[in-house]
Structure 1
Amino acid sequence: MTSRERICAILNHEPADRVGFWPGNPADDTKTLYYKHFGIQDTSNTSKMSDTGRHAQTLTIKTGHPDLELALALKSDLMWISPELDAATWQHPENKPMWDVLGGKPRTSLSQPGVFAECESVKEVEAFDWPNLDYLDFSASLANIEETRAAGLAVFGGMWCPFFHIACDLFGMENYFIKMHTHPAVVEAVTEQIVAFYLQANQRCLDLMASKLDAAFFGNDFGSQRDLLIGPRMFQKFVLPYFKQLIEQMKSYGLKVVLHSCGSIVKVIPLLIEAGMDALHPLQTRAAGMDAENLARQFRGDLVFIGGVDTQDLLPFQSPAAVRQEVRRLKQVFGERFIVSPSHEALLPNVSIENTLAMSAEATIIN
């Protein structure tokens, strides 16, 4: 099977010759080390998307060939190509960011008050300078997708849509959670504006590239190491309705939907399955309730699992032999509906190339 055929078979709950493998999107410093190991020439232009929300700030997309070369060298079955995380996508004539969540101020913490920290009026929300869809340009991402497909790899993509993160930043984390109780109409108005933008932006995006994607991939981190960041009742009121809108849109293009959320989210996985989620990433295995046995026992018949190879202890600090042993164990626990991948997609420089290669070698053994 080709990599693309393999990933599509897994997502469709059909037989495949082996589980899938994705090494994630390593951090830039990690890529530099891995490029050196494989002798990959980094001739690309590196740029970071300006403040698109907490999660996006940690990611950098390189245009050109090195990322694809690295994916092939690591025997990856897929690549994640998200226009939102490519600086070439947002073309503001005055170089303003897509989401100016802090009103031009530098970030100091996740709790830092955002532009709506003191907002008590829906009219103030409506008057805000929300992003203009006309500044979006998907041409760079389309070129990357074509190149990746030509190499035989599956492609996950679409807008990243981190509406929960952006709302959190627009208020400041504590303010956001408190205003769910004190000013729910304001929180809903802000979230509706963010999601309205993403629905329109993703429509433009998917109109161009849905036929070239093997799954829509979007993410919002709403779990901590111990539990949800907000309770299930608040999740159902302020988050889940918007997940449903986005998932419904993605599925209208005939795409499988892969959701990313770090942390312990086990309490709301049934709600996400009901909303239409097909696959879950990255399975932060050391978070409460997110161990492989628990997830497989409860959801193996409903989900494809992507991730689970621990990045908090195993990959950075244990031996290649230990990594291979854990990958073997995960394959046994999850079975055929599994794509081996790190429990956080951005591998840090403390994850050696030897351990990443061990993960790849064990994952890519043909059944």
Structure 2
Amino acid sequence: MNPRERVLAILNGEKPDRIPVDLWYTGEIADDLKKHFHVNSDLELYKSMQLDKIVWVMAGYDFKSTDTNRTVWGVPLKRITSGKAVYDEFGEPPLKNYNIDSLDEYPFWPKAENYDYDKARQWAQQAYPNYVTIGPWISFFEVYCQMRGLQQGLMDLVLEPDLANSILDRIEECQTRMLETFLKALGDSIDIVFVSDDMGTQENLLISPDIWEKFFKARLARWCDLIHSYGKKVFYHSDGAVEPLISGLIDCGIDILNPIQRICKGMDTKLLKSKYGDKIVFHGAVENQSILPFGSPEDVAKETKYCLDTLASDGRGYIACSCHNIQAGTPVENIIALAKAVCYYNRSTTKSLNSC
């Protein structure tokens, strides 16, 4: 099997020749890995590492102005440097002082026609023959909190439900138009749509299940229905302790759950596999807060094997991956150890990895 066939087998509930291995990482880690493997492109790196990479496909946005230091939603960005890492933080929430009557005056609601679908299609078609593709990125709660601020956003759901629904309606409408245009433009070259809504902390949910059901469940179900109508899978991302929402997410129609932070409360991988393993695919799980960045290669191999033993106990339903982006400064040897552990687990090694 090639990487595409292997991942598709998992997504279709089949048993592949081995469990797939994906990796999420920051730009700094991408540079480190390319340097280590003496390659220049992303696709060359995936091949060198024998990754079953699920390849990201995003449509760039034409801001129609010189003010590009914002997200497509108009949220200002601030560039931060911390050690080896460079990243953007969100600035002042742009809808902080808006009310229901003034929402239509907001100048930064994104327009579907401003996305570059042609370039996205070209990249997807490069990856498509050998790799499963994923895109675009869509979200309800994360976008809402970026635009209103996390604290205000959480309070809105209780104190300002009409305003919250009005903003969420606009967020849904803008992205649904973009999503449909994206899916029509890319056709068979896209396989999965990425829905990202972080709902958990290390210990609990950010909002109650009742609030989630009131504001988000029906909206997510509409997106799942739309995505499935195009023959695509739904990849749902939520960090943290989200076990209380998993049944509801399955009801909505998600196909893949990520990132499975197993050190968070209620996210025990044995429990998740026993309760939900016949309903969804798990993606992620390899611990990325302490073991990957600070452990030894042996620690990483042991952690990866545990995830495989628990989430792929039947040889199905799991794509091994770091449980979030591998951060700058993580030893390359540890990242290689993750990929090797999957190969060893499946009684298959590769020349390129063994020669590292």
Q: TM-score, normalised by structure 1?
A: 0.85
The alpha-carbon deviation at position 213 of structure 1 amounts to: 2.2
Match in the other structure for 1:355: 334
Match in the other structure for 1:145: 124
Q: CA deviation digits over 1:309-331, x for unaligned, max 9? A: 00011111112122222222221
The alpha-carbon deviation at position 110 of structure 1 amounts to: 7.9
Aligned residues: 332
Match in the other structure for 1:340: 320
- Do the aligned partners of 1:311 and 1:347 also contact (CA within 8 Å) in 2? yes
Distance 1:107 1:117, change over 3 A: farther
- Do the aligned partners of 1:115 and 1:170 also contact (CA within 8 Å) in 2? yes
Cα RMSD of the aligned pairs, angstroms, is 2.0
- Do the aligned partners of 1:78 and 1:156 also contact (CA within 8 Å) in 2? no
Residue 327 of structure 1 pairs with residue 311 of structure 2? no
Match in the other structure for 1:15: 15
Q: CA deviation digits over 1:37-74, x for unaligned, max 9? A: 11123xxxxxxxxxxxxxxxxxxxxxxxx222222222
Unaligned segments of structure 1, at least 5 residues? 42-65
Match in the other structure for 1:59: none
The alpha-carbon deviation at position 208 of structure 1 amounts to: 1.6
Query: Following the alignment from structure 1 to structure 2, what is the Cα–Cα distance between the partners of residues 270 and 360?
Result: 31
Which amino acid is the alignment partner of residue 143 of structure 1? Answer: Q
Equivalent residue runs for 1:58-207 within 5 Å? 66-84=41-59, 89-96=60-67, 97=70, 98-101=72-75, 114-119=93-98, 121-129=99-107, 130-150=109-129, 152-157=130-135, 159-207=136-184
**Comparing 198-207 and 209-218, the one that deviates more:** 209-218
Match in the other structure for 1:6: 6
The alpha-carbon deviation at position 112 of structure 1 amounts to: 6.4
Query: Following the alignment from structure 1 to structure 2, what is the Cα–Cα distance between the partners of residues 106 and 330?
Result: 36
Query: Following the alignment from structure 2 to structure 1, what is the Cα–Cα distance between the partners of residues 57 and 125?
Result: 13
- Do the aligned partners of 2:241 and 2:266 also contact (CA within 8 Å) in 1? yes
Residue 304 of structure 1 pairs with residue 281 of structure 2? yes
Indicate the SS of the match to 1:20: coil
Residue 283 of structure 1 pairs with residue 260 of structure 2? yes
The alpha-carbon deviation at position 359 of structure 1 amounts to: 0.8
The alpha-carbon deviation at position 360 of structure 1 amounts to: 0.6
Q: TM-score, normalised by structure 2?
A: 0.88
Query: Following the alignment from structure 2 to structure 1, what is the Cα–Cα distance between the partners of residues 89 and 212?
Result: 19
Query: Following the alignment from structure 1 to structure 2, what is the Cα–Cα distance between the partners of residues 94 and 343?
Result: 37
The alpha-carbon deviation at position 131 of structure 1 amounts to: 1.6
The alpha-carbon deviation at position 123 of structure 1 amounts to: 1.9
Distance 1:215 1:106, change over 3 A: closer
Query: Following the alignment from structure 1 to structure 2, what is the Cα–Cα distance between the partners of residues 260 and 320?
Result: 27
The alpha-carbon deviation at position 111 of structure 1 amounts to: 9.3
Query: Following the alignment from structure 1 to structure 2, what is the Cα–Cα distance between the partners of residues 277 and 67?
Result: 28
Which amino acid is the alignment partner of residue 207 of structure 2? Answer: I
Match in the other structure for 1:313: 290
The alpha-carbon deviation at position 189 of structure 1 amounts to: 0.5
Which amino acid is the alignment partner of residue 31 of structure 1? Answer: A
Which amino acid is the alignment partner of residue 23 of structure 1? Answer: L
The alpha-carbon deviation at position 107 of structure 1 amounts to: 8.5
Which amino acid is the alignment partner of residue 9 of structure 1? Answer: A
Which amino acid is the alignment partner of residue 150 of structure 2? Answer: M
Q: CA deviation digits over 1:64-91, x for unaligned, max 9? A: xx2222222221112332315xxxx111
Q: CA deviation digits over 1:247-298, x for unaligned, max 9? A: 1111111112111111111110000001101111111122111121221122
Q: State the identity as a percent.
A: 25
- Do the aligned partners of 2:195 and 2:236 also contact (CA within 8 Å) in 1? yes
Which amino acid is the alignment partner of residue 280 of structure 1? Answer: L
Match in the other structure for 2:36: 37
